[in-house]
């Protein structure tokens, strides 16, 4: 049984709309089926799918047990940047989902890793996310590390927690930055009314992004971002929060897509970690993808000096 409470901002929402926005992975049609099956109640009474909900009420949802999912290996090419018996680092292409989820049952990085690594992936994150230590968005490209055994996974997860696993991103942001360097320290939580988005929220989890200007252009800035924390959509949310959404980000910035971009102009260009077996520092980089470089090339001739 899942309990959900309406906020004042959600007053007047239809029951099916509210459920689809609050329960991750639940579509509106699936929410309507739950309502038709009397699996959704307020004060013990079933709710109609078109019922308008009032703020402050508690909605109880009886969610069905998830159907068993079989994740199959798929022969999908991987750009392997580093690999040994404990870890594998790949340069994930834009458009690839990291692990199976509603709407993306296969064709993911996990499917490709299972083909490439066989049974040599850690099982700590369960059957849906074998080996996955951290994630990057579908429309973000760049370096991702996966663990081949549980000991390596635990060691790398600890480095994520104490920030010794360092990730460096490059992005093109809209607008000009007054300073050359800066930090955004603003907690992030799930958006109150749109569960597919994140938002800066004083009650959210701590989130810190350090940024540095790499190049200034007319109307745009090429920046480098270093993460202290790894919240969902962190760079995208933080840059939009300070008035500089990422180029091509139709979720947190302009709604109109940008020619030549499948999503936001964001690339995980650097990764540094302590090897879980040897204790040696491993530092890896990967070049900007062609689609990112093409956006920079379009801005050439408009560059100004960094003061």
Q: Which domains does the chain have, with CATH numbers?
A: 2-61 (3.10.290.10), 163-299 (3.30.2350.10)
Q: Which residue has the higher pLDDT, 59 or 70?
A: 59
**Has residue 85 got a pLDDT over 60?**
yes
% pLDDT > 70, the chain = 95
Average pLDDT, the chain: 89
**Has residue 46 got a pLDDT over 80?**
yes
Token pair 């939580």: residue: 189
What's the pLDDT at 23? 77
**pLDDT, average across residues 286-302:** 89
Tell me, what DSSP letter sits at residue 125? T
Exactly one of 16, 86, 137, 139 is catalytic; name it. Answer: 137
What's the pLDDT at 35? 84
Least confident of 95-104, 131-140, 253-262: 95-104
**pLDDT, average across residues 142-153:** 96
Confidence tier at 307 by pLDDT (50, 70, 90): very low
Q: How distant, in Å, are the alpha carbons of 102, 252, 269, 287 from that of 301? A: 44, 28, 24, 22
What's the pLDDT at 306? 44
Distance CA 235, CA 172 (A): 11
What's the pLDDT at 94? 95
Residues contacting residue 66 through CB under 8 Å, at least 6 positions apart: none
- Name residue 14's beta-bridge partners: 52
Q: pLDDT tens across 194-253, in order?
A: 878 999 999 899 999 999 999 999 999 999 999 999 899 999 999 999 999 999 999 999
Q: pLDDT tens across 94-105, in order?
A: 999 998 877 778
**Has residue 138 got a pLDDT over 60?**
yes
**pLDDT, average across residues 30-59:** 82
Answer yes or no: 137 catalytic: yes
Beta strands in 138-286, from DSSP E residues, in sequence order? 141-147, 166-174, 181-185, 188-190, 198-200, 208-217, 220-227, 266-274, 281-285
Confidence tier at 33 by pLDDT (50, 70, 90): confident
């Amino acid at each position: 049984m899942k309990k959900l409470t309406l906020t004042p901002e959600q007053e007047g929402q239809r029951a099916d709309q509210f459920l689809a926005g609050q329960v991750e992975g639940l579509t509106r049609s699936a929410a309507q089926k739950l309502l038709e099956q009397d699996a959704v109640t307020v004060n013990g009474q079933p709710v109609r799918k078109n019922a308008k909900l009032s703020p402050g009420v508690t909605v109880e949802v009886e969610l069905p047990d998830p159907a068993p999912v079989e994740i199959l290996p798929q022969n999908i090419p991987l750009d392997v940047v580093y690999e040994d018996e404990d870890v594998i680092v790949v340069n994930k292409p834009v458009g690839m989902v990291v692990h199976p989820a509603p709407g993306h049952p296969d064709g993911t990085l996990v499917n490709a890793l299972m083909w490439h690594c066989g049974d040599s992936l850690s099982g700590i994150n369960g059957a849906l996310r074998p080996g996955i230590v951290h994630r990057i968005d579908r429309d973000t490209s760049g370096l991702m590390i996966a663990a081949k055994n549980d000991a390596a996974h635990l060691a790398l997860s600890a480095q994520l927690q104490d920030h010794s696993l360092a990730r460096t991103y490059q992005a093109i942001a809209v607008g000009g930055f007054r300073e050359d360097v800066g930090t955004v320290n603003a907690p992030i939580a799930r958006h109150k009314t749109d569960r597919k988005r994140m938002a800066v929220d004083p009650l959210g989890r701590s989130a810190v992004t350090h940024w540095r200007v790499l190049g200034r252009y007319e109307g745009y800035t090429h920046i480098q971002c270093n993460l202290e924390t790894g919240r969902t959509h962190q760079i995208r949310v933080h840059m939009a929060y300070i008035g500089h959404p990422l180029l091509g980000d139709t979720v947190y910035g302009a709604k109109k897509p940008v020619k030549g971009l499948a999503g936001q102009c964001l690339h995980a260009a650097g990764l540094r970690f302590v090897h879980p077996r040897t204790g040696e520092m491993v530092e890896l980089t990967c070049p900007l993808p062609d689609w990112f470089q093409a956006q920079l090339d379009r801005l050439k001739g408009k560059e100004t000096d960094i003061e």
